[in-house]
Amino acid sequence: MTIPRVDLPADARLETLAVREGLPPSPWGENSEALFVTSSFVHPDAATAARRFANEEEAFVYGRFSNPTVTMMERRLAALEGTEACIGTASGMAAILMLVLGLLKSGDHVVCSQSVFGTTIRLFTDFARFGLETTFVPQADVDAWRRAMRPNTKLLFAETPSNPLTEVCDIAALAEIAHAGGAQLVVDNCFCSPALQRPVSLGADIVMHSGTKYLDGQGRVVAGALCGRDEVVAQKFVPVMRTMGLTLSPFNAWVVLKGMETLAIRMRAQSERAFALAQWLEAQPGVERVYHPSLPSHPQHRLAMAQQGGVGGAVVSFVVNGGQGGREAAFAVIDATRVCSITTNLGDTKTTISHPASTSHGRLTEEQRQAAGIVQGMVRLAVGLEDLEDLKADLSRGLAILKR
Ligand SMILES: *Cc1c(COP(=O)(O)O)cnc(C)c1O
């Protein structure tokens, strides 16, 4: 026996796969995917159980490493990313941990962008204790990535666009560098999601996700995943899942599974609002600088548009007048909002507003922050689905105070 597949046309497109890929329904014929809340699965007889435990027969066995709801989420995400396989994990960080545990050993070397999610930097840095060395390079500087390569480099890790500056990496160029050096390229595709950007189609080997963000899309659960080739998932990641239990709960998988059904329309609608807000912010007298990949003023506008299907994503950052001395002004803009949620999460239908220098990037030294371009006057928006005019009015209140 193998676990059956949904009968879909081979050329089904992304928005169809987002709604339809998963598992065939159970004998009860449910139309919406079921949430299987069970820790183990029953076998018809002892010999079948033995075959299943020996991996000679594919079946659901035990909740630490297999569950039908989790499998549905994995198959759907793999279909969207255009990879053969996917493995769900307890969180985005658990996905990166699985990457390290599954692919790397003491003595190996990693090249990583210095602009990735702060906790990702900490994870790679912490693994120095186990003999893993990581070189951090400027996100957009392709030559710096190339120069950082060593004979023992096994992995390149990029996140594009980055948070909060929306800096973009050239995925195809990094894939070429990785493969020339016998290494693999991993892309954290959290900010674009497969609705806008499919890293594997540009040469990346593995796609990493925090399902917590746009895949769930409504700020409900924590989840993660790795997408890649069948043999890598089956031989490198599944054994880690079995022995180390970085398991995604069926409930969280179910929320992400259902969230993906609206992913493409959410990404488009939220990105449109973000772009409109970015253009509006650029024209505001209280604002010094705006960062969004759709703006022609973005340093990598053309690369971003080519790589992200012409869509900039839903994150916009801006610097209020005063730049580095603008902390009070940034706080005033944030505190004057009544619609936006003051939180660092993103990927929600609710617009979130945050002050990167004192929250998500608060653990960096002032020097590191300035090197990263994150000044005290910076405000980050992760735009949701509220009415655009209400969002403008929400930001106007604070910006009006600054003008006086
Ligand atoms: C949130 C986030 C992560 C970590 O994901 P968790 O689900 O919070 O563990 C990794 N990368 C990026 C870009 C993120 O935004």
As a whole number of angstroms, the distance between CA 172 and CA 152 comes to: 21
pLDDT tens-digit map of 167-200: 999 999 999 999 999 999 999 999 999 999 999 9
In ligand 1, the atom with minimum distance to the C-alpha of 345 is 1
Name the token pair of 131: 């003999």
Mutate to test the pocket of ligand 1, among 77, 192, 197, 212 (most ligand atoms within 8 A of CB): 212
Distance CA 252, CA 220 (A): 9
3-class SS shares of the chain: helix, strand, coil, % to 5: 40, 15, 45
Angstrom distance (rounded) from CA 142 to CA 164: 20
Among protein residues, the one with the nearest Cα to ligand 1's atom 5 is 92
Cα(224) to ligand 1 centroid in Å equals 8
Paired residues of 112 in beta bridges: 136, 157
Ligand 1 atom with the shortest distance to the CA of 211: 7
For ligand 1, the distance from its centroid to the CA atom of residue 188, given in whole angstroms, is 9
Return the ligand 1 atom nearest residue 223 CA: 7
Using CB atoms within 10 Å of the CB of residue 230, give its burial: 0 to 12 exposed, 13 to 18 middle, 19+ buried. Answer: exposed
Check: CB of residue 222 under 8 Å from CB of residue 88. Answer: no
CA distances 165 to 191, 277, 284, 300, 373, Å, are 12, 16, 19, 11, 8
Atom of ligand 1 nearest to the CA of 96: 10
Distance 93 CA to ligand 1 centre (A): 6
Ligand 1 within 6 A of 184 CB? no
339 falls in which pLDDT band (50, 70, 90)? very high
Quick one: which atom of ligand 1 is closest to the CA of 222? 7
- Which atom, in ligand 1's list, is nearest to the CA of 159? 13
Task: Give 222-246 pLDDT, tens digit per residue.
Answer: 999 999 999 999 999 999 999 999 9
Residue range 23-36, pLDDT digits in tens: 999 999 999 999 99
Model confidence pLDDT, tens digit, residues 268-322? 999 999 999 999 999 999 999 999 999 999 999 999 999 999 999 999 999 998 8
The full set of domains in the chain, from first to last, is 14-262 (3.40.640.10), 264-402 (3.90.1150.10)
Nearest atom within ligand 1 for CA of residue 94:
9
Contact 65, 241 (CB under 8 A): yes
CA angle 105, 111, 115 (to 5 degrees): 130
Whole-angstrom distance, CA of residue 185 vs CA of residue 40? 35
Q: Is the pLDDT of residue 372 over 80?
A: no
Pair 345, 382: CB distance under 8 Å: yes
Q: Tell me which residue of 214, 225, 298 sits closest to 264, measured CA to CA.
A: 214
| 162 CB within 6 A, ligand 1 | no
> d(Cα 219, Cα 227) in Å, to the nearest integer?
22
Cβ(92) – ligand 1 distance below 6 Å = yes
Query: 124: CA distance to ligand 1 center in Å?
Result: 14
- Cβ contact 219:348 at 8 Å: yes
Answer yes or no: is the C-beta of 93 below 6 A from any ligand 1 atom: yes
What is the CA(191)–ligand 1 centre distance, in A? 10
Does 190 sit in the ligand 1 pocket, CB within 6 Å?
yes
Mutate to test the pocket of ligand 1, among 116, 119, 169, 215 (most ligand atoms within 8 A of CB): 119
Q: State the pLDDT confidence band at 404, using cuts at 50, 70 and 90.
A: low
Structure-block tokens of residue 172: 């195809």
The span from the CA of 129 to the CA of 108, in Å, is 12
Q: What residue's CA is closest to ligand 1, atom 8? A: 92
Average pLDDT, the chain: 96
In ligand 1, the atom with minimum distance to the C-alpha of 162 is: 13
| Pocket of ligand 1 contains residue 117 by CB under 6 Å | yes
pTM of the model: 0.96
Number of H helices and number of E strands within the chain? 16, 12
The per-residue pLDDT for 55 is 87
